[in-house]
Amino acid sequence: MKGIGKGLTNAMVAFPACGLCAYDYIYGLKGLEYGTDEYTEKRAQIHTKVAARLKWMSTHCGGIYFKAGQYIGTLERMMPKEYTDALKSLQDKGAEVPYSKIKVVYEHDKKCKIEDVFS
């Protein structure tokens, strides 16, 4: 039940956040002619705002949202610079797992002592 509660909580954060992102683009660029300096400047402002919102959502929700934020931060050839600049900071962050837990999982999965494989 704990996973369902966390998933529902995350959905209640993610859906409105994504809705706000869409709203920002739809109404923020409304009436601006594509390709003009004004359009380009406004779009860059919206990219920055949305990227900050996605970063907050990634860190607040954690799990798959955090991984998605990390991944988007690596897409420098595909995503706007505002996104990658904001989200690449997630690369060095993440939940730390104690060695004792890693050891238990490794030894269970590999059916051998971790010391037999790693020095």
When pLDDT is cut at 50, 70 and 90, the band that residue 3 belongs to is low
Please give the pLDDT value at position 15. Answer: 94
Residue 111 in domain: no
Residue 43 in domain: yes
The span from the CA of 33 to the CA of 56, in Å, is: 31
Residue 115 in domain: no
Q: And the tokens for 19? A: 């809705």
Residue 13 in domain: yes
State how many domains the chain has: 1
Please give the pLDDT value at position 101. Answer: 87
Residue 109 in domain: no
Domain ranges, residue 22: 2-94
Residue 17 in domain: yes
Judged against a pLDDT cut of 90, whether residue 2 lies above it is answered with no
pLDDT tens digits, residue range 81-115? 999 999 999 988 777 778 888 889 888 998 989 88
Lowest mean pLDDT among 4-8, 21-25, 47-51, 73-77: 4-8
For a pLDDT cut of 70, what percent of the chain falls above it?
97
Residue 22 in domain: yes
Q: How far apart are the first and last CA of the chain?
A: 39
Backbone phi, psi, residue 94, to 5°: 155, 165
The answer for residues whose C-beta is within 8 angstroms of residue 79's C-beta and 6 or more apart is 72
Residue 49 in domain: yes
Among residues 23, 79, 29, which one has the least CA distance to residue 55?
Answer: 79
Backbone phi, psi, residue 27, to 5°: -90, -25
When pLDDT is cut at 50, 70 and 90, the band that residue 118 belongs to is confident
Judged against a pLDDT cut of 60, whether residue 27 lies above it is answered with yes
